[in-house]
Amino acid sequence: MSKVMKIEKMTKTYHLGKVKVEALRGVSFEINEGEFVSIMGPSGSGKSTLMHIIGCLDYASEGKYFLAGQDVSKLNDNQLALFRNKKIGFVFQQFNLLPRATNLRNVELPLIYSGVPARERKKIATQALQDVGLSDRISHRPNEISGGQKQRVAIARALVNQPSIILADEPTGNLDSKTGLDILNMIQKLHDEGNTIILVTHEPEIARYARRIIHLKDGLIDSDEVVA
Amino acid sequence: MIIQGLKIALESLWTNKMRSFLSMLGIVIGVGAVIAIVSVGTGSTQQVTSRIADLGSNMITIYPRTPRGQWGRVSSSGSQEKFTLELADYMEIFCPSVKTVILVKQISGRLISNEVNMNATIIGTGMDYAQVNNYEVDKGIFIYEDDVRDRRQVIVLGSQLAEDLFEDTDPMGQRIKMNYNGRIYSFDVIGVMKEKGGSMAGNLDDRAYIPLSVAMDRLTTHNYVDSYIAQAYSSDRAATSVKELENFMIKLFDDPDKEYFRIVSQDEILDTVSSVTNTMSIMLGGIAAISLLVGGIGIMNIMLVSVTERTREIGIRKALGAKNKNILYQFLMESLSLSSIGGVIGIGFGWVAAYFLSRYGNWPMVISTISVVLAFGFALFIGIFFGLYPAMKAAQMNPVDALRYE
C-alpha cells in the first residue's frame, strides 16, 4: 500500500510574548492510502495543532511533512492553498458552511477555487449532494436545514475535489447522538469506498470507528495502535 | 481570477442589500452632486454669457468720473464738462480700432400721455444707439439722422414705458408731452422698441429715446454728454480699442491715474462674470468632491466592518483553497462594485438634479462629459483606494485564526 502522508519529527512552538508553548515536540508517523485513523488526546495535547498542520492550514516549526509525495513543509502560502484545495477535504465540528450561500454554492466553493468551469462545477456539486442524500435540499441555505444535514453538505463539499485525505475534526461534536451516528456511518462508508480518513476526536467511542488510533499526550505520540 | 472575484463580490453584495445600499449612498450623493453642480455652473455661465453678448456688440462705455477727496481736502471737480460732442469725433480719429462713437445724454423728465403721467429716464442719442445695443424696433422706427439734424421733437418708447403710458391704445402716431425743468415740450411717438431687459446701461425697457440734438439744445443747454459708447470694429479688436481709448483719454485729460474717466468694456464684464462663476463652480465642485471622499471613507468603514464580520467566511474560503489573491480580489471587487454601482446611480441622480435645476433656473442643461468621466473615475479610484486596505487585511488573515473566530 502506498503512503499518502508522512510526518517526521514535527515540532510546533508558539511564542506568546516571552512564553514559549511547545504544542508538538517531535511527532512522527505515516498514513497509508485507504486507512481510517483516529487522532485522540485530551485538550492541550496538541491534536488541534497537528490537525492544522496536516490540513496545510499552518506551518510546523521543525520537521518534515510529506503529502501525496511532496514536501509540504517547504511550500509557500499560495502552494499551501492549492494543497488544501486539491488534497484535503475538511469536515469541521462547526460545519463551517457559508450561511448566506445555498447548499449547492457551498459545495461548489472548492471547485470555484480550482477553476472548474461553471457548468461542470454545478454538475459535480449536484452529484455530490445527491450522494449524501440531499438531492431535495440543493437550493436551500444552511440555516434552513438540520445539523445532520449541514454536516452532510460539509461532507459533500469535502469530497468534490477528490482529496487525498478527508480530515474530520470532531464531526459529531455539535450533533445529537442519533444524527452523530448517521454521520459516522457515512464516514465509515467513505472509508469502505477507499478514501483515506483522519478523524480527530476526544471521545473514545467515536475513535473506535477507526482502524487505527493515535493517542497524543503533551505534544508527543503516547500510543499508535491498530484496532481490531 | 478577477472575474471570479467580481462574481463572488456581487453575490455577497446582493445578499447584504441594505448594507450595500447604505455604503454606496455616499458615492451616489458625491457623484450626483459633482455632476449637478458642474452642470449648474456651466449652464448658468452660458446663460449669463449669452445675455452679456445680447447687451450689445463690442461695446465700450466711457464715463466721466469725479476723483475722491483725500485727507479732508475737498475733492476736485469732475470731468463731466469735458465730455463734449467734438471729443467723440477725436476718439474716432485717434483710435483706429474704434468703428464709431455714440453720444448719450441722459435726463429725467415727466412724460404725460392722455391717460397717465410718469417720471422716466430719457436718453438723447443718435441713430447708431439701437444697433450698438442690439436693440430692435417693435413698431415704427428708431431715431434717424434727419431727426437729429433737424432737431425734430420725436420720441421712441421702451416696451415697458409704452405699456405704462398707453395701456390699451396704440402709441404710434400719438403725441405726448414732457415736463422737463417745469417747461412742457411735446413729442410725436415714432416707434416702440422690442422688449430687451437688462443691458450694460441698465434696463432699457422703461426708457424713452429722443434725438441727441433735442436733448442738448432744446431741453438742457449743456454742451456735454453723460457718456460715450464706442464700438470696436470686431470683438478681436475690442481689447485694442480699450487700450487706444484709455491712452487717448489719459493724454487728453493729462490723467495718468485714470481718475477722471472710467472705461467699461463688455469683455471686462464677461471676464468678471465668468471668473466669478468659475470660482463658484470650482468651490462647489470641491465641496462635492469632499463629499465623494467622505463617501469613500464610508465605504472603507463598511468594508472594514465587513472584513471583521466575515473573518470566519474568510477562514472557510481559505481552508477550501482560496489563495490570498482570491480573497484580495473578492474584497477589492466588492468595494469597487460598490463605488462603481454608486457612481452609475450617482450619474443618473446628478442628471435628474441638473435637469430640474436647469428648468428652475431657466438656463440650458449642460452635462459635460468631462464632469461625468471625472466624477465616475474619482469614484472608482476611491473604491480601489479605500477598498485596498480592508481587502489586504482580509487577504493576509491567518486561516487557523480566521476559522477559530467567533
Is ipTM strictly over 0.90? yes
DSSP B236: G
Residue among B129, B122, B161 nearest B145 (CA)? B129
Which chain B residues are Cβ-neighbours of A110 within 8 angstroms? 320-321
Rank B75-89, B317-331, B360-374 by mean pLDDT and report only the highest: B317-331
Which chain B residues are Cβ-neighbours of A84 within 8 angstroms? 318-321
Say yes or no for a CB contact (<8 Å) between B322 and A90.
no
Q: Where are the alpha helices (DSSP H) in A23-135?
A: 47-54, 77-87, 103-113, 118-131
DSSP assignment of B34-96 equals HHHHHHHHHHHHHHHHHHHHHH-SSEEEEEE--PPP-TTPPPPP-SGGG-BHHHHHHHHHH-T
Sequence ranges of the domains in chain B: 2-51+272-404, 66-259
Q: Are A95 and A46 in contact (CB under 8 A)?
A: no
CA torsion sign, A165 to A169 to A173 to A175?
A: negative
A207: domain CATH number?
3.40.50.300
Which chain B residues are Cβ-neighbours of A105 within 8 angstroms? 11
B214-221: Cβ within 8 A, 24+ apart: B214/B124, B214/B151, B214/B152, B214/B153, B215/B105, B215/B107, B215/B122, B215/B123, B215/B124, B216/B85, B216/B105, B216/B124, B217/B151, B218/B151, B218/B153, B218/B185, B219/B107, B219/B109, B219/B124, B219/B180, B219/B181, B219/B185, B220/B105, B220/B107
Q: How do residues A180-210 score in pLDDT, each as one tens digit? A: 999 999 999 999 999 999 999 988 888 888 9
* Residue A153 lies in domain: 3-226
**Closest chain B residue by Cα to residue A86:** B321
Torsion of CA A219, A181, A196, A81, to 10 degrees: -70
pTM higher than the cut 0.80: no
Using the predicted structure, report yes or no on whether residue A165 has a pLDDT greater than 90: yes
* pLDDT at residue A228, as a whole number: 66
Residues 6+ apart with CB under 8 A from B146: B152
Residues 6+ apart with CB under 8 A from B267: B235, B238, B239, B242
Torsion of CA B66, B69, B73, B76, to 10 degrees: -10
Do strands B154-157 and B117-125 pair parallel, antiparallel, or not at all (unpaired)? unpaired
Q: Does residue A122 sit at the B interface (CB-CB below 8 Å)? A: no
Mean pLDDT throughout B237-263? Answer: 86
Instruction: Residue window 307-366, chain B: list those with CB within 8 Å of chain A.
Output: 312-313, 315-326
Q: How do residues B108-144 score in pLDDT, each as one tens digit? A: 889 998 878 889 999 999 888 888 888 888 888 999 9
Our CA-based measurement puts residue B323 at a distance from the nearest CA of chain A, in whole angstroms, of: 5
The chain-wide mean pLDDT, for chain A, equals 91
Residue found under cell 470686431: B234
- At A117 the three-state DSSP class reads coil
Say yes or no for a CB contact (<8 Å) between B316 and A57.
no
Using the predicted structure, report yes or no on whether residue B172 has a pLDDT greater than 80: yes
Structural domain total, chain A: 1
Confidence of residue A216 (pLDDT cuts 50, 70, 90): very high
Our CA-based measurement puts residue A227 at a distance from the nearest CA of chain B, in whole angstroms, of: 31
DSSP A144: G
Q: Does residue B401 sit at the A interface (CB-CB below 8 Å)? A: no
DSSP B224: B
